[in-house]
Amino acid sequence: MNDSRLEAARAEARRLTGLGIRGVALTWVDNAGLTRVKAVPVARLAQVAGRGVGMSPVFDVYLVDDSITSSPHIGGPDGDLRLFPDLDRVTPLAAQPGWAWAPADRFDQQGRTHPACQRQFASRMAARAAERGIEMRMGFETEWVVARGTDRAGGADGARGAAGTRFAGAAGPAYGMARLVELSDYLGDVLDALATQGVDVLQIHPEYAPGQFEVSVSPADPVGAADLAVLVRETIRAVSVRHGLTALFGPVVTAGGVGNGCHVHLSLWREGRNLCRGGDGPFGMTRQSEAFLAGVLRELPALLAVGAPSVASYLRLEPSRWAGAYQCWGLENREAALRFVAGAPDDRAGANAEVKSFDAAANPYLAAGSLIAAGLAGIDADLTLPAPVAGDPVRGSGERRLPTSLPEALEHFTASAVLREALGDPLFEAIAAVRHAEAELFEGASPQEIADATRGRY
Ligand code: GLU
Ligand code: MG
């Protein structure tokens, strides 16, 4: 590390110490979609910025229940990686006094990029788009269900507690003001914490399912948006703990009910111009945006292994639940996997596309990078979009259902030349191994058992 970066790290450590920060949490998200952490005392931050923190590469093949599988390139107890905090993103955590957070990148002992580093994968894909003159903007929506007390379901001990779980804000109707009233202190604290951390919140509201809420934030560059997805989720979790509540982000909380999505909004920009509007493609999108979205639509069955990566994801991905279960697109159609939003005529930033099928079991860095890879492949092949779909595709004729199980999505993933090339073999194989092992893990489990074992894990 050069002297100026080292000096910047020392200055950052002094600033944090002055703010009363004692520890810095360095997070990465594994291929199972769980945010893992190593923390250091603030006094070590400069050293860590220079040399990183040691960690095992075996985390790349961890499963949702903390069991471990292996893959052709990664697995086993050997080897060491270095975890480096992104100093530009260090954030004091408002709901965890004394703590700051930084997302981390992973390198090997020689300082080379770890080929399976998910965050650097997202950054490589953003750079690929930039090579074509395209600046991507993305935003992840966060949905979660609030449970009263400690929801022991989904614990590593495999405790089952669905029957006894009480949801907070459950009495009020879907999208009901009554729910906001019941949890107004809690939701106010979520807003406060996010604002203190500099997160620009667009909306917060009760969702459809009992005890379910959603928060959405301003779009950012792909890596920044994925970082925000992590920060927003961990902030909600921390505020929940302070209120004696538990935030559940898993794809399904109650089998058979509406689940938690983690929809991804995206738009393409060039020199300050939004390419999702002002063109002569469908609903005003430019040709380039159309080809990009067509690439995403084409790759969706394979992309599901990244964006809907859990066995539980397929309990959520059902028709008529606004989850995007069909491989189609439409203008503001909440049942289409790809919802195009044209935006108001005077709202330059309003036009964008929303990928609805993804959920919070997805690693947001993998999700962002894979969507860009699929979209750029669409541009390279000069794809066009099929006719848009209006209304619920379940009632239409002939719309294609997306994979209905993890093994089915995995089959598409392993056959995807686009994703294999973009991810690179070590990362691609590790993801495939984790998906395969998780499918095996839940073989024979009932839907409610799957929901119980996963809903509190993400
Ligand atoms: N909860 C729904 C899902 O599973 C989404 C509801 C909405 O459109 O916001 O994706
Ligand atoms: Mg929602």
Q: Which structural domain, as residue segments, surrounds residue 51?
A: 3-115
Confidence (pLDDT) at 156:
35
Cα 54–Cα 55–Cα 60 angle in degrees, nearest 5: 155
> How far is the C-alpha of 221 from the C-alpha of 233, rounded, in Å?
18
Claim to verify: residue 63 and residue 31 sit in the same structural domain: yes
- Cα(357) to ligand 1 centroid in Å equals 9
Residue 274 and residue 132: Cα distance in Å, rounded? 15
Pocket test for ligand 1, best of 142, 265, 314, 321 (most atoms within 8 A of CB): 321
What is the mean predicted confidence (pLDDT) over 63-83? 93
Task: Give residues with Cβ within 8 angstroms of 281, minimum separation 6.
Answer: 287, 289, 290, 385
* Dist. CA 204–CA 123, nearest whole Å: 28
Cα(171)–Cα(145) distance, integer angstroms = 13
Segment among 50-64, 97-111, 141-155, 443-457 with least mean pLDDT? 141-155
CA angle, 285 then 222 then 130, to 5°: 65
Considering the domain architecture, whether residues 93 and 168 belong to the same structural domain is answered as no
- Which residue, judged by its Cα, is nearest atom 4 of ligand 1? 261
Of 115, 136, 152, the last residue of a domain is 115
Element (H, E) at 237: helix 222-242
Assess whether 190 and 288 both reside in one domain: yes
Ligand 1 atom showing the smallest separation from residue 143 Cα: 1
pLDDT at 303 over 60: yes
Residue 155 has pLDDT above 60, yes or no: no
CA distance 366 to 306: 7
Q: Which of 58, 121, 60, 27 is nearest to 434 (CA)?
A: 60
**Ligand 1 centroid to 83 CA: how many Å?**
34
- Total tally of structural domains belonging to the chain: 2
| Model pLDDT for residues 349-380, shown as the tens digit of each residue | 999 999 999 999 999 999 999 999 999 999 99
Domain boundary pick from 115, 148, 182? 115
With respect to residue 121, please indicate whether it lies within any of the assigned structural domains: no
Decide if pLDDT at 396 tops 50: yes
* Amino acid 152: pLDDT: 57
Does the residue 368 lie in any domain?
yes
**Which of the pair, 89 or 160, is modelled with greater confidence?**
89
Question: Per-residue confidence at 330, pLDDT binned at 50, 70, 90?
Answer: very high
249 and 209 housed in the same domain: yes
In this structure, the residue with its CA closest to atom 7 of ligand 1 is 322
* Residues 344 and 211 reside in one and the same domain: yes
Angle at which helices 406-414 and 425-441 cross, to 10°: 160
Judgement on whether residues 61 and 183 belong to the same structural domain of the protein? no
Q: Please say if the pLDDT value at position 164 is more than 90.
A: no
Residue 120 belongs to a domain: no
- Ligand 1: centre distance to CA 261 (Å): 5
Pocket residue to mutate for ligand 1, from 216, 263, 358, most atoms within 8 A of Cβ:
263
In what helix (H) or strand (E) does residue 270 lie, and over which residues does it extend? Answer: strand 264-270
Show the ligand 1 pocket: residues with CB < 6 angstroms.
143, 207-208, 258-259, 261, 316, 321-323, 334, 356
Nearest-angstrom CA–CA distance, 107 and 31: 17
Measured from the Cα of 334, ligand 1's closest atom is 8
> Which residue's C-alpha comes closest to atom 6 of ligand 1?
322
Tell me: the pLDDT tens digits for 76-128? 788 899 999 999 999 999 999 999 999 999 999 999 999 999 999 999 999 99
The protein residue whose alpha carbon is closest to atom 8 in ligand 1 is 322
Strands 326-331 and 352-355: unpaired
Residues 87 and 146 in one domain: no
pLDDT band at 160 (very low <50, low <70, confident <90, very high): very low
**Which pLDDT value is given to residue 149?**
83
Q: How is 135-181 classified by DSSP, letter by letter?
A: EEEEEE-EEEEEEES---TT-TT----GGG--BTT-SSPTT-HHHHH
Ligand that comes closest to the CA of residue 333 = 1
The answer to whether 325 touches 308, Cβ cutoff 8 Å, is: no
CATH number of the domain enclosing 161: 3.30.590.10
Ligand 1 atom with the smallest distance to the CA of 212 is 1
Burial 162-190 (b: 16+ CB within 10 A, else e): beebebbbbebeeeeeebbebbeebbebb
Cα–Cα dist 302/403, whole Å: 9
Supply the CATH number for residue 14's domain: 3.10.20.70
Q: Residue 143 C-alpha to ligand 2 middle, in angstroms?
A: 6
User: What is the CA(336)–ligand 2 centre distance, in A?
Assistant: 14
261 CA distance to ligand 2 middle (Å): 7
Rounded mean pLDDT, 335-341: 97
**Mean pLDDT, the chain, whole residue set:** 95
Q: Is the pLDDT of residue 32 over 90?
A: yes
Q: Do 9 and 141 lie in a common domain? A: no
Given pLDDT bands bounded at 50, 70 and 90, which one contains residue 449?
A: very high
Ligand 1 centroid to residue 356 C-alpha, Å: 7
Region 412-437: mean pLDDT is 98
- Kindly give the number of the ligand 1 atom that is closest to the alpha carbon of 316: 4
Query: Quick one: pLDDT at residue 170?
Result: 75
Q: Are 340 and 284 in contact (CB under 8 A)?
A: no
Q: Which ligand sits closest to the CA of 360?
A: 1
Q: Which residues pair with 83 in a beta bridge?
A: 53, 106
The distance from CA 298 to its chain's CA centroid, rounded to whole angstroms, is 21
Indicate whether 103 and 137 sit together in one domain. no
For 39-84, give the DSSP string.
EEEGGGHHHHHHH-EEE-GGGGGB-TTS-B---SSS-SS---EEEE
Q: Residue 92: left if φ>0, alpha if ψ -120 to 50, beta else—which one?
A: beta
User: pLDDT tens-digit profile of 222-272?
Assistant: 999 999 999 999 999 999 999 999 999 999 999 999 999 999 999 999 999
**% of the chain with per-residue pLDDT over 90:** 90
pLDDT band at 2; cut points 50, 70, 90: confident
**Which DSSP string do the residues of 87-102 spell out, in sequence order?**
GGG-EE-TTSTTEEEE
The set of residues, in sequence order, having a beta carbon less than 8 Å from that of 275 and lying 6+ positions away, is: 134, 267, 268, 269, 285, 286, 288, 289
Whether 34 maps to a domain, the answer reads yes
Q: How far lies 79's CA from each of 51, 84, 285, 410, in Å?
A: 16, 17, 48, 28
- Nearest-atom number in ligand 1 for the CA of 357 is 10
58 and 100 assigned to the same domain: yes
254 and 397 part of one domain:
yes
Confidence of residue 159 (pLDDT cuts 50, 70, 90): very low
**Boundary (domain end) residue, out of 66, 92, 115:** 115
Coil/strand/helix, residue 384: coil
What lies within 8 Å, CB to CB, of 325 at 6+ separation is 317, 318, 319, 335, 337, 357, 394, 401, 402
CB 352 within 8 A of CB 265: yes
Are 77 and 226 members of one domain? no
For the beta carbon of residue 413, count every other beta carbon within 10 angstroms. 26
236 inside domain: yes
Is the pLDDT at 312 greater than 90? The verdict is yes
